Amino acid sequence: MKDSCIFCKIIAGELPSNKVYEDKAILAFLDANPASEGHTLIIPKEHCENIYDIEEETLSKIAVLSKKLANIYKERLNIDNINILNSNGKYAQQDVPHYHMHLIPRKKDDKKLFKWGKQEVNHKKLLEKIVLELADKKYPV
């Protein structure tokens, strides 16, 4: 636990939350500042800042819970679709420095569309870097 971390305080029960799911490794709760009804955060119980330091096994559990909750929300919350996303680092607009996956239920015409502008990119050069890194033993897939 990191003393200054708001999510660690929620895990420790020092701050209230509306828990959706909890086990030894992960916790899911309703976002206190929801972008839509049912906006949920899934976090690891062990403090880690973001995708760069989260354990792969814990990340897998978060991914599986995302799928289960997406199905439940579709059946129970009368939603049309769902965004599942997370931000990693200040320039990616990560607001709380404790890994968290957002589940944001969406409805037709809710006008909460995420848009980004298209940029010109040299895909050939980019792929050379990415494919080489994936083949490297440092990041085995």
Could you say which of 39, 100, 102, 123 is catalytic?
A: 100
**Contact between 112 and Zn ion per CB under 5 A:** no
**Closer residue to Zn ion in complex, CB, 12/92:** 12
Tokens (6 digits) for 66: 């995302």
Q: How would you class 117 by CB atoms within 10 Å of its CB: exposed for 0-12, middle for 13-18, buried for 19 or more?
A: exposed
Using DSSP's 3-state secondary structure scheme, residue 80 falls into coil
Of positions 8, 10, 20, 82, contacts Zn ion by CB under 5 A = 8
User: Is 47 marked active-site?
Assistant: no
Q: Are 130 and 121 in contact (CB under 8 A)?
A: no
**Contact between 7 and Zn ion per CB under 5 A:** yes
Residues interacting with Zn ion, by CB under 5 A? Answer: 2, 5, 7-8, 47, 98
